[in-house]
Structure 1
């Protein structure tokens, strides 16, 4: 009989300095490369640490590979979700279960280099920072479409939400325990951490790095999910769309008065001619404006509806930190 590494025994040796949260979904092709680069970096820090691999309902061999990897990596901890809940929900599950004094979140695709983690930790300690953001100052490995859409996203968000949101910052960051406890106390149902964390106002710093190509597999953020992320970012942190709907309503009212004055003038001069073009254009214009404004209101009502339901965004099926396993 051989007993698998007990994570609780690891934590009983002393307080953990660092927790590294890695949400992953169908990352069997990247997992080996991730472990080969992440473990030497963390071992070299000389600090007690844990790695929380959050399996977001993977349908490939990710779960089996993680369990095999635990036999050789005592600090690895696996949190398995019952179903695919999304990247931000998986990240939330890991953050809420992290035990470290500092917590780093990183994706499994190695586009964000784990080699800068010691630099982030050193900066946080030297300057007494609660958050260290990693800024992508070189995105040459991304496609032109990806670079342009990302640039426009940050341009728009910084104008709607505020300049306190750092540009070109994803989910690769370091946070202190006070930041983590503040996040856990928030009632938000749909987290967008790249906007939520800056809004807390904790002392922060930045490091820069070159974004690398995905080591293996395919992206888990296609265009559709990017659009949903942008929509959540806007409706979750800004009321500007509601003001836009009000402005469009006011503009429509002005247009109505102009058209009314034009109609009365034309009628009084006897220039009226039977026709349908102007009527159709007018109806289509105001119909489009009304539907657009209703759609904006619907987005905010949907967020209220989700918050009122207060349903969990994820469900944990298994956490190796709380369950002892015996391997025959």
Structure 2
């Protein structure tokens, strides 16, 4: 199990109380690798207290908040199981589904089993609407291989995990990277529950950032949009020029600054939009060339020989 955690002191005991019986009933060895993503509350203390009574619990602490996807990367890179299940700690994704995922993977020899939300009525109308828009956009831009309403609750085989670790991704979006691998996959539907405690760690700003990373990381479509907008702007200017010439020939020239101002504003906005889209790709190139680590490991309770400080770059 790989479980990213950030400021979740309230929900951790509830999460453990539901997850542990599920894993104990599987009848196989397991490890719960929690990645503390630079929490500023009592999350670290709660995890250490839980380790005393739960020997399968492993705690990896990051020195600073690196983001959900990078915390997930840290967990995948340090995981050791034949199968790896990633799940959030908020209990919106029910741990009871894990057994069904494992059965499906073994019965059909699958490398990936996606948890697909069949019912999101527990989410707000705004969250459901924005999520639906996100998946429609991604499936349109990236391809139909992306399962709709599948987040980061999934089962991966060791083959799939190794494939992800080998990818040179600096800004990973696993809900798109995993389907990109093209491995045999299946789906398990479940009803999304309400958050058990605490507050959501994915506000609107992070949702927008995820959508932007998803599009710019997996498609050049925005660059093509900029090109087509530029072509449309040129065509519009040509039409206006022809209309102005015809008006001049007829002697029907009415001085008007409104049309001029609108044209200048329109073209200026078009240029800024195109520059912004280009800037997103330049920013990704800049981040990659910097080569800075995506996360910094402070400690790992799973290995006595683990260094006190470890740097790791996503996908390497």
What TM-score bracket applies, with the shorter chain setting the length? over 0.9
In structure 1, how many angstroms separate the alpha carbons of the residues matched to 2:228 and 2:91? Answer: 44
Q: Residue in 2 aligned with 1:265? A: 246
What is the match of residue 9 of structure 1?
none
> Quick one: which of 43, 46, 57 aligns to 1:65?
46
Deviation at 1:311, TM superposition (A): 1.3
| Map 1:150-189 → 2, pairs under 5 A | 150-189=131-170
- SS of 1:189 mapped into structure 2: coil
Counterpart among 222, 233, 237 of residue 241 in structure 1: 222
Distance between the aligned counterparts of 2:290 and 2:197, measured in 1?
A: 38
Aligned to 2:99: 118
Give CA-to-partner distance per residue, 1:242-291, whole Å, 9 cap, x none: 11111011111111111111111112222223221111000000001010
TM-score, normalised with respect to structure 1: 0.92
Unmatched 5+ stretches in structure 2? 307-316
What are the superposed Cα offsets for residues 178-212 of structure 1, whole Å, 9 maximum, x if unpaired?
A: 11111111111001000010001000000000000
Task: Identify the residue that residue 282 of structure 2 maps to in structure 1.
Answer: 301
Map 1:75-94; keep pairs closer than 5 Å: 75-94=56-75
* 1:65-124 deviation per Cα after TM superposition (whole angstroms, max 9, x unaligned): 101110100000000000011100101000100000000000000000001111111110
Q: Secondary structure at the match of 1:252?
A: helix
Correspondence 1:322 to 2:307: no
1:12-36, CA deviations, whole angstroms, 9 ceiling, x for partnerless residues? xxxxxxxx00001000000000110
Alpha-carbon distance between aligned partners in 2 of 1:225 and 1:324, rounded to the nearest angstrom: 35
Secondary structure of 2:176's aligned partner: helix
Q: Displacement, 1:304?
A: 1.2
Q: Distance in 1 between matches of 2:248 and 2:304?
A: 83
Q: Which runs of 5+ in 1 are unaligned?
A: 1-19
Cα RMSD, aligned residues only: 1.1
**How many Å separate the matches in 2 of 1:126 and 1:265?**
73
CA distance in 1, matches of 2:165, 2:291: 14
Rounded Cα–Cα distance in structure 1 between residues aligned with 2:250 and 2:292: 64
Q: Distance in 2 between matches of 1:256 and 1:155?
A: 33
TM-score, normalization by structure 2? 0.95
Secondary structure of 2:55's aligned partner? coil
Looking at structure 2, the residues matched to 83 and 216 of structure 1 have their Cα atoms a distance apart, in angstroms, of: 23
CA shift at 1:216, angstroms?
A: 0.1
Counting only pairs closer than 5 Å after superposition, residues 7-26 of structure 1 correspond to structure 2 as 20-26=1-7
Aligned structure 1 segments of 4 or more residues deviating by more than 4 angstroms: none
CA separation in 2, counterparts of 1:264 and 1:139? 57
Question: What is the CA-CA distance between 1:324 and the residue it aligns to?
Answer: 7.5
Q: What SS does the corresponding residue of 2:96 show, helix, strand or coil? A: helix
Aligned to 1:12: none
**Alignment of 1:274 onto 2:217:** no
Structure 1 residue matching 2:295: 3-state secondary structure: coil
State the alpha-carbon separation in 1 of the partners of residues 91 and 75 from structure 2: 18
Instruction: Please give the per-residue CA displacement for 1:52-77, whole angstroms capped at 9, x wherever unaligned.
Output: 01000000000011011101000000
